[in-house]
Amino acid sequence: MQMRHHAFSLPLLSSLLLGIGATFTLAGCSTRPVVAEALPFDRAILAAADALLEQAQPLPGFLGGTDRRVVALDPTLDADSGQQTSATQQLDRVIGERVQQARQFELVPFEAASLASAQYLIVGSMARAQGAHRLDLAMLDVKSGTVLAQSSVQARLEVADMKPINYYRDSPILMKDETVEGYVRTSNTRAGSKADASYLGRIAAAAAINDAAKLYNSGRYREALVEYRGLLATPTGNQIRVLNGVYLSSAKLGRTAEAEDAFGRLVAYGLAQKSLSVKFLFNPGSTEFWADPRLTSAYGMWLRQIARQASSVKVCMDIVGHTSSTGPEEVNDNLSTRRASFIKHKLSAESAELAGRTRTVGMGSRHNLVGSGTDDVVDAPDRRVDFAIVDCKA
């Protein structure tokens, strides 16, 4: 491929050279650039952003013209938990800065009001892989749905701040459904291929959801609730992030009946998807719920709705307990089993028929999503209880 000089080729080179000994390959415009050796997190996100934009330079219309291409960034996600975190926000800031420094691009917010003007979208995810975080970024053409550029870079684990932002911190469940999974798949789709269909069909909804989440994160709960309610009335609005938003906003406003109805719909949605992950917080080393009622006062309602919805659809479930990574493996295995049994007992008290249609499994810390071992809000997804739909025995 013929080399050309671009406005930000020197920043690109400098960011790549920050990781001494790292290897960077770009065999052709449709080839996925990969930095093989794990870089410090701040250097890795620079390398990922610059590699993506450098790869986009030979696209039609970039060379020899004066028009700037309009780009929007759909906020990046932690692929394992489906959350936005301090680390993904840091990644977003760097991507935004690099796009703004490039003369070929104009960055617009990922909002419903400005999305119509965007020609390209950037998506990105972070996933734990082989003792590091893999950062995957992709740029796609909005009109065709084709991925135009893609980069992958390895980042060291120790620096990334995995603290979730408010909406995800407050969420009772993990935010992973087909829409979120489609976003993550798009972030590591090779250039020249179509972006994931489940993501492409919900881009407009994603922008509106992002608008509502901004309202929630800034404490504007009434306005957020109005936005989330409106989204539920749209064809693409019946998804986990919207249902969760209605629940969270209603709960913050003290609308207990609406909050319980929304949580019931969340549970029904998860059961229909054959998987539901709920973040029950326990006292360390115990099967008793966390002592702070501000965090656990809704647990009785959660259990009531899980029991009610599971009984209504006559499903059989594995109740799977998880723990954080602190403590010996054998202790965690036993603790996770006892916590799963505790939840089964609570559900059976709500609906006796569930006793014969549920079984307990302890996974210890083997399926950690965060792995920080901090035993606080950061690794709350590691201390979850999963409800997995299984075939009922004859």
Please, which residues have CB within 8 angstroms of residue 219's CB and are 6 or more apart in sequence? none
Distances (CA, A) of 29 to 12, 57, 150, 193: 16, 9, 10, 13
Ranges of each domain in the chain:
9-187, 202-272, 274-394
Tokens, residue 165:
């932002």
Tokens at 198, concatenated: 């489940």
Contact criterion met (CB below 8 Å) for 65 and 102: no
CATH of the domain spanning 274-394:
3.30.1330.60
- C-alpha closest to that of 90 among 122, 49, 50: 49
133, 160 Cβ separation under 8 angstroms: yes
Higher pLDDT, 11 or 184: 184
| CA-to-CA separations, 163 to 79, 87, 184, in angstroms, rounded | 14, 8, 19
- pLDDT over threshold 60, residue 28: no
* Candidate from 35-49, 60-74, 123-137, 243-257 with smallest mean pLDDT: 60-74
Across-strand partners of 156?
132
* Highest-confidence segment of 34-48, 66-80, 207-221, 286-300: 207-221
State phi, psi for 53 to the nearest 5 degrees. Answer: -70, -35
DSSP three-state, residue 187:
helix
Question: 5 pLDDT exceeds 50?
Answer: no
Instruction: Give the total residue count for the chain.
Output: 394
Q: How far apart are CA 36 and CA 297, in angstroms?
A: 47
Res 381: pLDDT: 77
Using left for φ > 0, alpha for ψ between -120 and 50, and beta otherwise, residue 251 falls in: alpha
- Tell me if the domain spanning 202-272 has CATH number 2.40.50: no
User: Residue 360 is encoded by which pair of tokens?
Assistant: 């307990």
